[in-house]
């Protein structure tokens, strides 16, 4: 390790002093950064790194929505339990208890995953609808504040509803 540090170390002059320029008795070692692309693998890793916003996808994240997180977790647990109990009940009379248990576990896992996917699907739509509703509330409030207190009629361009016949 010391040999490698000696290879990459380069002496650097000490900062300029007010009276004179002096070099430090022991040279200050500046570390040279490692080459970014020594192997193809390292270069590809750097190129594939994304920012957190890009990593999350294009839509809003359900992980930050407290009601969605609780609801999805509750749906997963009930789905897995229902699948387990149903498959156990149906397969118990037709096979041994071990086979029924294995079938019940497999059905519970399948129902758990299917319920999770369904809950995430539904909550993505609900979160988008909540965002659009909040956006409309803010637009209406901004128009009311700018237009003198009268809220804009839905579908009316320009913020004010026109009287019939004018």
CB-count burial class (<10 Å; 0-12, 13-18, 19+) for 120: middle
The pairing of beta strand 28-30 with beta strand 10-12: antiparallel
Phi, psi of 161 (to 5 degrees): -80, 140
Q: Give the residue with greater pLDDT, 96 vs 6.
A: 96
What is the reported pLDDT for 36? 52
With a pLDDT cut of 90, the percent of the chain lying above it is 44
Domain ranges of the chain: 63-147
> Does position 57 have pLDDT exceeding 90, yes or no?
no
Q: Give the residue with greater pLDDT, 33 vs 79.
A: 79
How many whole angstroms separate alpha carbon 54 and alpha carbon 101? Answer: 43
């Amino acid at each position: 390790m010391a040999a490698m540090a000696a290879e990459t170390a380069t002496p650097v002059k000490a900062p300029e002093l007010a009276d004179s320029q002096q070099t430090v008795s022991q040279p200050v070692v500046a570390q040279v950064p490692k080459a970014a692309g020594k192997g193809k693998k390292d270069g590809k890793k750097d190129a594939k790194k994304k920012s957190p916003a890009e990593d999350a996808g294009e839509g809003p994240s359900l992980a930050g929505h407290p009601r969605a997180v609780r609801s999805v977790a509750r749906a997963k647990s009930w789905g897995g339990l229902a699948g387990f109990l149903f498959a156990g009940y149906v397969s118990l009379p037709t096979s041994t208890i071990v086979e029924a248990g294995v079938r019940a576990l497999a059905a519970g896992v399948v129902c758990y995953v299917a319920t999770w996917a369904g809950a995430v699907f539904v909550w993505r739509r609900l979160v988008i609808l909540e965002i659009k509703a909040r956006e409309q509330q803010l637009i209406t409030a901004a128009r009311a504040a700018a237009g003198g207190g009268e809220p804009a009629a839905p579908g009316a361009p320009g913020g004010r509803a026109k009287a019939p016949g004018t």
